Structure 1
């Protein structure tokens, strides 16, 4: 995903890889943060929204839903819960921080250049 993003940023600026300009230069010039970081921010925003809901909410029921059947062969796909756990570790956050909405929003917000 990042490769495609950088390729588009280079194209917008009229440069190619042969010009040997670092990716950070394009991000700073255009004032754009990584798409992956924005996706992580949205994922954590949704997580905070779900955890703030009441126990009777349908979203909570879906979160604890157990699907029957077998997975396909090969490496197992990363689940939403595992991805959220990784994001929380990366940003040094815990589930308890969700209850302070202003602080949570400030900590998950991706800083622009």
Structure 2
């Protein structure tokens, strides 16, 4: 999520540069986005991740992409405390435990894409809104 925040900051800086607007002009980000009509980087990243996951899940050959997604550590254990999320955890949250089977049906997979992008970008926003006391 930190990477997404940094990408969004960079994208906003580029959009301001495209319009010739300074931070001192105090124009809201929504107004800048409306003027440039550029897609939010978090939505684009989420959409590409979903498409790539479907592409890998539909593969029948056993190349490295599918092996990496199904990889389990030798010990079978994750670190103590709250385990780090795996790349496929958020995909399984939307598509279910049978995500590879769901990916075979392209119509179903594409219909789930919108839900995934919406969920992924909203969780990125929530991480950004954390308040410190």
Relative to the length of structure 2, the TM-score reads: 0.58
> Who is 1:81 aligned against?
88
Is the CA contact (8 Å cut-off) linking 2:102 and 2:108 kept in structure 1? Answer: yes
- More contact order relative to length (CA 8 Å, sep ≥ 6): 1
Tell me the equivalent position of 2:125: none
Deviations 1:38-60 (A, max 9, x none): 11001000111122223x52333
What secondary structure, in the 3-state scheme, does the structure 2 residue paired with 1:66 have? coil
SS at match of 1:42: helix
Q: Which runs of 4+ in 1 moved over 6 A?
A: 69-75
Structure 2 unaligned runs (5+)? 1-6, 118-133
2-structure distance, mates of 1:75, 1:14: 44
More helix by share: 2
Counterpart of 1:24 (choices 18, 25, 30) is 30
Q: CA deviation at 1:98?
A: 2.9
**Does the 8 A contact of 2:69 with 2:88 survive in 1?**
no
8 A Cα contact 1:43 1:84, kept in partner: no
Q: Displacement, 1:97?
A: 4.8
Residue among 44, 48, 73 paired with 1:42 = 48
**Cα shift at 1:23:** 1.1
Unaligned segments of structure 1, at least 5 residues = none
The normalised TM-score by structure 1 is: 0.66
Is the aligned partner of 1:98 residue 2:74? Answer: no
